[in-house]
């Protein structure tokens, strides 16, 4: 029975309540934080489980009254309301029972890079980043630029940003991959449609305690910032390039006037990349998990096409095509792309779990 599957969650929640009041735990900040996060993640299903069990008791009581001459009709009316409610709660519980991505509650570091297509690709990096920015505003999220490399033609050769807020990773993790754009560039005199591409990487932000980096594994270079940046930005040795020797990962930051701030931001990006690398390796080792994932596998795969002449946006992973590209790029309808990806992901996990 479904109710039996819920008992361990309630027991674990109660166990965590006792642990969190223990002096041994309250004196260990790291352990207390871990247990608090676990308890917080269990709260939705525990609350729904208690609601479900209370409903089952109501249904049982009503069924027992059916044979009563005076209360039978009332019991029938109550069951007409209770049974549909039971079915609804059971579906909600099935969703809550799905394996939860431990990164869903995290902030993200998103990297957009121009690929094939030259100036047009760089312009689209700017356009897509603007779409993410507007979507973030609607969700109440905050965006902090980490690093930018503007293009002379407009847009960016590369932009790296931290997006902070509730459930950011859970909604934007499907954006990782190659995005293809088809449109007529402003510089095209004959009206021909050009195809260009950009890549997007979405990485969970990680705490310092989660990724430990040995200073001996780092090669840190400082240099003068290049390009536009305002007074003193490109006249002092404020730019920082960090190379992680074991993996070969390289992070450069030059947006801030302060070398210290550039180094701090570069380290944050490096830690996110290392954590992301660990996730990719773990998923590669678990074929079953990888098969159930949407948009978190092969980063080289083309995931979406933006066709401006036809006002069409197509997500190739779920064969979704919408003719509302302009509205979606404005940020207001971005959920029309994200919600079907989440639903497809959940459906695959439900099927795999046999719920």
Question: In the predicted model, is pLDDT for residue 300 greater than 60?
Answer: no
User: In this predicted structure, what is the pLDDT of residue 200?
Assistant: 93
Who wins on pLDDT, 212 or 243?
A: 243
Q: Do domains 2-97 and 104-355 have the same CATH topology?
A: no
- The span from the CA of 11 to the CA of 9, in Å, is 5
Question: In the predicted model, is pLDDT for residue 353 greater than 70?
Answer: no
User: In this predicted structure, what is the pLDDT of residue 283?
Assistant: 65
Secondary structure of residue 257 in the 3-state scheme: coil
**Residue the block writes with tokens 């780092």:** 218
How does pLDDT run across 159-180, given as a tens digit for each residue? 999 999 998 999 999 999 999 9
**Residue the block writes with tokens 């404020």:** 238
- The span from the CA of 250 to the CA of 43, in Å, is 40
User: In this predicted structure, what is the pLDDT of residue 47?
Assistant: 92
Are 224 and 262 contacting, i.e. CB atoms less than 8 angstroms apart? Answer: no
> What is the pTM for the complete model shown?
0.69
Q: Could you tell me the CA-to-CA distances from 99 to 19, 49, 59, 307 in Å, in that order?
A: 24, 16, 29, 35
User: In this predicted structure, what is the pLDDT of residue 2?
Assistant: 78
What are the structural domain ranges in the chain? Answer: 2-97, 104-355
* CATH entry, 2-97, from 1.20.58, 1.20.120, 1.20.950, 3.40.50: 1.20.58
CA angle, residues 231, 232, 238, in degrees to nearest 5: 140
Contacts of residue 136, Cβ cutoff 8 Å, sequence gap at least 6: 142, 143, 163, 165
Contacts of residue 163, Cβ cutoff 8 Å, sequence gap at least 6: 107, 108, 109, 110, 132, 136, 141, 142, 143, 144, 172
Compute φ and ψ for 19, nearest 5 degrees. Answer: -60, -40
What DSSP state is assigned to residue 40? Answer: H
Cα 302 from chain centre: 18
Helix H or strand E encompassing 109: strand 108-114
Question: In the predicted model, is pLDDT for residue 294 greater than 50?
Answer: no
Q: In 270-303, which positions are buried (b, 16+ CB within 10 angstroms) versus exposed (e)?
A: bbbbbbbeebeeeeeeeeeeeebbbbbbebeeeb
- The span from the CA of 282 to the CA of 288, in Å, is 11
User: In this predicted structure, what is the pLDDT of residue 127?
Assistant: 94
Q: Could you tell me the CA-to-CA distances from 63 to 76, 77, 78 in Å, in that order?
A: 8, 11, 9
Contacts of residue 115, Cβ cutoff 8 Å, sequence gap at least 6: 121, 178, 196, 197, 198, 199
Predicted confidence band at 299 (pLDDT cuts at 50, 70, 90)?
Answer: very low
Predicted confidence band at 339 (pLDDT cuts at 50, 70, 90)?
Answer: very high
User: In this predicted structure, what is the pLDDT of residue 289?
Assistant: 42
Secondary structure of residue 285 in the 3-state scheme: helix
Cβ neighbourhood burial of 330 (10 Å; 0-12, 13-18, 19+) = middle
Tokens, residue 226? 């290049």
User: In this predicted structure, what is the pLDDT of residue 227?
Assistant: 52
Who wins on pLDDT, 100 or 145?
A: 145
CA dihedral 205, 211, 216, 219 (to 10 degrees): -20
Are 218 and 236 contacting, i.e. CB atoms less than 8 angstroms apart? Answer: no
How does pLDDT run across 247-271, given as a tens digit for each residue? 888 888 877 777 778 888 888 888 8
User: In this predicted structure, what is the pLDDT of residue 355?
Assistant: 59
- A 10 A CB-CB count for 15 gives 12
User: In this predicted structure, what is the pLDDT of residue 142?
Assistant: 95
Are 210 and 275 contacting, i.e. CB atoms less than 8 angstroms apart? Answer: yes
| Overall fold of domain 104-355 | Alpha-Beta Plaits (3.30.70)
Are 129 and 145 contacting, i.e. CB atoms less than 8 angstroms apart? Answer: no
Per-residue pLDDT, averaged over 315-328, amounts to: 94
């Amino acid at each position: 029975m479904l109710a039996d599957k819920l008992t361990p969650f309630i027991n674990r929640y109660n166990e965590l309540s006792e642990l969190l009041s223990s002096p041994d735990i309250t004196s260990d900040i790291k352990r207390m934080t871990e247990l608090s996060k676990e308890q917080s993640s269990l709260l939705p299903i525990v609350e729904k489980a208690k609601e479900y069990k209370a409903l089952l008791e109501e249904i049982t009581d009503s069924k027992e009254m059916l044979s009563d001459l005076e209360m039978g009709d009332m019991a029938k009316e109550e069951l007409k309301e209770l049974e549909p409610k039971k079915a609804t709660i059971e579906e909600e519980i099935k969703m809550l029972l799905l394996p939860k991505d431990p990164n869903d509650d995290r902030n993200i570091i998103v990297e957009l890079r121009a690929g094939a297509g030259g100036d047009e690709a760089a312009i689209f990096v700017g356009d897509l980043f603007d779409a993410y920015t507007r979507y973030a505003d609607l969700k109440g999220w905050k965006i902090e630029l980490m690093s930018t490399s503007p293009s002379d033609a407009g847009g960016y050769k590369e932009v790296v940003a931290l997006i902070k807020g509730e459930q950011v990773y859970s909604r934007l993790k499907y954006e990782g991959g190659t995005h293809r754009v088809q449109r007529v560039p402003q510089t095209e005199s004959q009206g021909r449609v050009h195809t260009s591409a950009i890549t997007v990487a979405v990485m969970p932000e990680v705490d310092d305690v989660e990724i430990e980096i040995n200073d001996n594994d780092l090669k840190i270079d400082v240099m003068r910032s290049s390009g536009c940046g305002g007074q003193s930005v490109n006249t002092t040795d404020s730019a920082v390039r960090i190379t992680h020797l074991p993996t070969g990962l390289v992070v450069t930051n030059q947006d801030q006037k302060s070398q210290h701030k550039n180094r701090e931001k570069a380290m944050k990006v490096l830690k996110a990349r290392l954590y992301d690398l660990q996730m990719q390796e773990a998923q590669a080792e678990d074929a079953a998990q990888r098969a159930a994932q949407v948009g978190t596998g092969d980063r080289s795969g083309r995931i979406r096409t933006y066709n401006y002449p036809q006002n069409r946006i197509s997500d190739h992973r779920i064969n979704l095509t919408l003719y509302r590209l302009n509205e979606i790029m404005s940020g207001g309808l971005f959920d029309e792309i994200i919600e079907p990806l989440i639903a497809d992901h959940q459906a695959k996990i439900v099927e795999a779990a046999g719920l």
